[in-house]
Amino acid sequence: DAGVIQSPRHEVTEMGQEVTLRCKPISGHDYLFWYRQTMMRGLELLIYFNNNVPIDDSGMPEDRFSAKMPNASFSTLKIQPSEPRDSAVYFCASSFALSPLHFGNGTRLTVT
Amino acid sequence: AQTVTQSQPEMSVQEAETVTLSCTYDTSESDYYLFWYKQPPSRQMILVIRQEAYKQQNATENRFSVNFQKAAKSFSLKISDSQLGDAAMYFCAYRNSGNTPLVFGKGTRLSVIA
């Protein structure tokens, strides 16, 4: 079991550019979550999916943020256009039924 | 909405000593789950311990144990025989009985002094 895999590990981009973060959940897991971590706000849920279907996206901060899960083994979080305040660590996590969440190692995004 | 509060932004402990991290939560549910996650400088989120609300017995995992007080809505983490590798951010988290997302506290940064 390779765990939840996120890429890239680090991303540095300029304001206004499009950013795409990627996640491969653990095989067999039916829930996928995207969280954002900042010093000021801690860990915030952005969106989560069940069986590839978005269940709750109320945490997505603005229309600049979008997430997709085209199949059970892949999800993306896209920011377009990016802004400096989007700088944070973005975590993907997956779980099966009532099992605890398994987190990826996160993507540190820096927008200059 | 459920909330999780960690009132200690930072704590420190001497190596080999015991430390307790506090967590309180607010919910109207009777069935739920509570967790402690550890985040070392590598930023990986590691599950330390979990507690089911319907269980009266406090969960224990080696040197880690919890004091779960359901009526008081309190869920503290005790680390015994602290080791240098325990230095990390610790997050308390709550989840309803359905597979709803985790709600996290703001975290407590634990330093271990040699």
Residue B99 scores a pLDDT above 70 = no
Cβ neighbors of A100 (< 8 A, separation 6 or more) are B35, B47, B50
Q: Do A89 and B43 touch (CB under 8 A)?
A: yes
Q: Give per-residue pLDDT as tens, B22-54.
A: 999 999 998 999 999 999 999 999 999 999 999
The total of other beta-carbon atoms located within 10 Å of residue A40's CB is 6
Distance from CA of B13 to the nearest CA of A (A): 23
Q: Does residue B9 belong to the interface with chain A, where contact is any CB pair within 8 Å?
A: no
B7-43: burial string, b at 16+ Cβ within 10 Å, e else: ebeebebeeeeebebbbbbebeeeebbbbbbbbeeeb
CB < 8 Å to A34, chain B? none
Q: What is the dihedral angle through the alpha carbons of B60, B61, B63, B65, rounded to the nearest 10 degrees? A: -30
Place of tokens 């920011």: A79
* Residue B56 vs residue A35, higher pLDDT: A35
Distance from CA of A21 to the nearest CA of B (A): 17
| pLDDT in the model for residue A11 | 97
Low-confidence ranges of chain A (pLDDT < 50): none
Please, which residues bridge with residue B10 across strands? B109
Supply the mean pLDDT for chain B: 94
What residues of chain B, 90 to 109, have a C-beta less than 8 Å from chain A?
A: 91, 99, 101-107
Cβ neighbors of B98 (< 8 A, separation 6 or more) are none
What residues of chain B, 36 to 65, have a C-beta less than 8 Å from chain A?
A: 42-45, 47, 50
Please, which residues bridge with residue B47 across strands? B37
Cα–Cα distance list, B113 to A24, B6, B18, B71 (Å): 38, 22, 12, 34
Q: Give per-residue pLDDT as tens, B65-94.
A: 999 999 999 999 999 999 999 999 999 999
Q: Do A105 and B43 touch (CB under 8 A)?
A: yes
| pLDDT in the model for residue A98 | 65
Distance CA B8, CA B16 (A): 21
| pLDDT in the model for residue B97 | 82
| Residue of chain A whose Cα is closest to the Cα of B32 | A98
